[in-house]
Structure 1
């Protein structure tokens, strides 16, 4: 699978299209797209993302994000 196809599938998912969240394993992102390229793509789209342990969580909207600690 190419990085472009993988990103197209990620952002074409129902959750992403609905402006919800999607999550992916960091290892999968690193293997398929590369973490720096993935993070740059998230920024380019104006989305927010968080990495928690072995997972990326992408907020597929332009809403403010408040981290609760």
Structure 2
């Protein structure tokens, strides 16, 4: 992680991203989340924002809205 990049700034990048601001989805590698901010801090911040997240393999899919989620298949 670059010296200027703190876990708090890294979390802010997600919530300030164009996709998040437009209520879209954001992808993050699980390994990067663990390395940059830690799982607990990541989950805490997502709860604070009201975002929902699923893990699919090595990726987190963050839904940056409050819409209903339904697993189709």
Normalised by the shorter chain, which TM-score bucket?
over 0.9
Question: 1:30 aligns to what?
Answer: 34
How far apart, CA to CA, are the structure 1 residues paired with 2:33 and 2:8? 12
* Alignment length (residue pairs): 69
Question: 1:45 aligns to what?
Answer: 49
Question: 2:20 aligns to what?
Answer: 16
Larger Rg: 2
Structure 1, gaps ≥5 residues long: none
Residue by residue, what CA displacement relative to the aligned partner does 1:22-41 show, whole Å, maximum 9, x if unpaired? 00000000001101211121
Residue by residue, what CA displacement relative to the aligned partner does 1:8-50 show, whole Å, maximum 9, x if unpaired? 1111111010000000000000001101211121112111100
Structure 2, gaps ≥5 residues long: none
Structure 1 moving runs of 4+ over 3 Å: none
Q: C-alpha displacement at 1:56, in angstroms? A: 0.4
